[in-house]
């Protein structure tokens, strides 16, 4: 086992996040609006606080969430009628807040988000549209935003039909987006086949984007954690998770253990080893190994991936931990055509929460897996 996989990085990363926040007073990025990336950063910090026994990390999440949640359970800057799956993700923090305080406003806020999903626009097979403004489209990103929330909400508030719904979403998008040749999943699917980025016969986008599959991989392990052992779809979801992870190992860079921005295009001009997707895959595999969803044979590749992240993508200095080679954002729309050239043209950044949050989540899971072993 390499030094990179034995040093506890989670505390360093969380301290770096806190340090940046304290230096700026309060983190304007997190406070600006209710959104999926700030929500993931807050969740990662809260998990770090619980796992490492550091209350100030949990307080970071609480302080920022409380700027959004009103006494009546309303959510500042959130609008249900937008019907946007991205807006669900920050709500995952409500469950810990409700468990910790018992305050009904957190339950009411969760009820509001669940109401959005229950009435959310759908494909003919019941798949949740990614957004109202993206009709009949399912993106892998949306599975992470909404399905784990549905599963946990169903468990906490005794709504088993919502756990069924989470399973349905996971299985449907996999069936619709999986490439049988590689086992990889395309970024998006348009049932109407109307979008410029969609294949006219299949409705699929053109490429396997690393972070899109990262979102989906994390969605699967985070949902499964809330499924009862007797759920009729549990074994199927575990099975397709293992099959998908096997496909990811086929495109893992053998030298560094990392994954490319466009997964199956290693060596093609402009492609690069990307941080957020690599962190998400390591997180999902480490959690899958810890909870028994993956066979132990995946351990070597997972640990190599984590060591590669630390060795090739991170740096430490007096300001803390820095993460590089993060794709700032990518999507599918009229001006984002899903081509290879599009994915490699998106801005590459350092230290943005889109990559730092998955790095913290991956570090926590690797450390839990190692401690359990």
Give catalytic residue positions: 141
Six-digit token string for 281: 């895959």
Measured at the CA of 82, the angle between CA 124 and CA 85, to 5 degrees, comes to 60
d(CA 318, CA 340): 38
Q: Give the N- to C-terminal CA distance of the chain in Å, as an integer.
A: 13
d(CA 253, CA 259): 6
Q: Shortest CA distance to 13 belongs to which of 59, 58, 44, 55?
A: 44
SS3 240: helix
- Provide φ and ψ at 318, rounded to 5°: -65, -15
- Provide φ and ψ at 80, rounded to 5°: -55, -45
If residue 168 lies in a helix (H) or strand (E), which one and from where to where? helix 160-177
- The two beta strands, 314-317 and 320-323, are antiparallel
Rg (CA), the chain: 19
- Provide φ and ψ at 335, rounded to 5°: -100, 5
Integer CA distances (angstroms), 74 to 30, 59, 62, 66, 110, in order = 18, 21, 16, 11, 10
Assess contact for 342 and 263: CB atoms under 8 A: no
């Amino acid at each position: 086992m390499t030094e990179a996989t034995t040093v506890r990085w989670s505390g360093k990363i969380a301290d770096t996040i806190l340090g940046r926040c304290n230096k700026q007073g309060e983190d304007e990025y997190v406070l600006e609006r209710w959104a999926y990336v700030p929500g993931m950063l807050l969740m990662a910090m809260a998990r770090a606080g619980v796992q490492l026994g550091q209350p100030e990390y949990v307080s970071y999440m609480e302080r920022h969430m409380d700027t959004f949640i009103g006494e009546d359970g309303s959510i500042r800057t959130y609008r249900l009628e937008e019907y946007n799956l991205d807006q669900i993700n920050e709500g995952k923090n409500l469950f810990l807040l409700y468990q910790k305080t018992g305050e009904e406003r957190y339950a009411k806020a969760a009820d509001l988000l669940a109401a959005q999903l229950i009435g959310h626009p759908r494909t003919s097979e019941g798949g949740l549209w990614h957004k109202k403004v993206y009709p009949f489209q399912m993106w892998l990103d949306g599975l992470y935003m909404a399905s784990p929330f549905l599963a946990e909400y169903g468990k906490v508030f005794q709504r088993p039909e919502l756990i069924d719904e989470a399973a349905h979403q996971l299985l449907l998008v996999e069936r619709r987006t999986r490439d049988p040749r590689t086992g990889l999943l395309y970024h998006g699917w348009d049932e109407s086949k109307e979008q410029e980025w969609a294949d006219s016969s299949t409705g699929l986008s053109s490429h396997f984007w690393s972070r899109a599959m990262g979102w989906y991989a994390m969605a699967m392990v985070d949902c499964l954690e809330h499924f009862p052992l007797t759920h009729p779809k549990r074994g199927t979801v575990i099975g397709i998770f293992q099959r998908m992870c096997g496909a990811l190992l086929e495109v893992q860079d053998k030298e560094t253990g990392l994954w490319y921005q466009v997964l199956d295009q290693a060596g093609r001009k402009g492609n690069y080893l990307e941080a957020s997707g690599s962190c998400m895959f390591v997180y999902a595999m480490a959690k899958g190994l810890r909870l028994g969803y993956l066979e132990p044979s995946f351990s070597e590749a997972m640990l190599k991936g984590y060591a590669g992240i630390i060795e090739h993508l991170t740096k430490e200095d007096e300001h803390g931990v820095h993460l590089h080679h993060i794709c700032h954002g990518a999507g599918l729309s009229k001006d984002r055509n899903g081509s290879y050239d599009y994915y490699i043209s998106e801005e590459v950044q350092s230290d943005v929460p889109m990559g730092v949050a998955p790095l913290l989540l991956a570090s926590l899971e690797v450390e839990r897996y190692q401690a359990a072993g």
